[in-house]
Amino acid sequence: MPSLLGIVWSVTTLGILIRFDRKRQRTQKIKPVELPKPLRQILWLALLVPAIVFAVVGNFSALTNWAGAVTVIGWGIAFYLPKASSS
């Protein structure tokens, strides 16, 4: 159960970071919406909070589940995002 909560937390944070990614917005010609740098840094740290908590507590099975799930879900998100147009 803790790994599921960590996965949901991290994937939500990852989704926010992807939504405001400047490079993705530029290549897809989306109107740029930018987050301030300190907020982006806080979001990156928030993305890793479950891993830090699992490691400190010693719940290495949850850490492994979290790492695998966030990696695969991140790949899935990147795969299904619209690609940059070649024209």
Percent of the chain with pLDDT over 90: 52
pTM to 2 decimal places: 0.77
DSSP line for 38-77: HHHHHHHHHHHHHHHHHHHHT-HHHHHHHHHHHHHHHHHH
Between 6 and 31, residue with greater pLDDT: 6
- What pLDDT sits at residue 61? 94
R_g of the chain, CA atoms, integer Å: 15
Chain segment 38-71, per-residue pLDDT in tens: 998 999 999 999 999 999 999 999 999 999 999 9
Model confidence at 24: pLDDT above 90: no
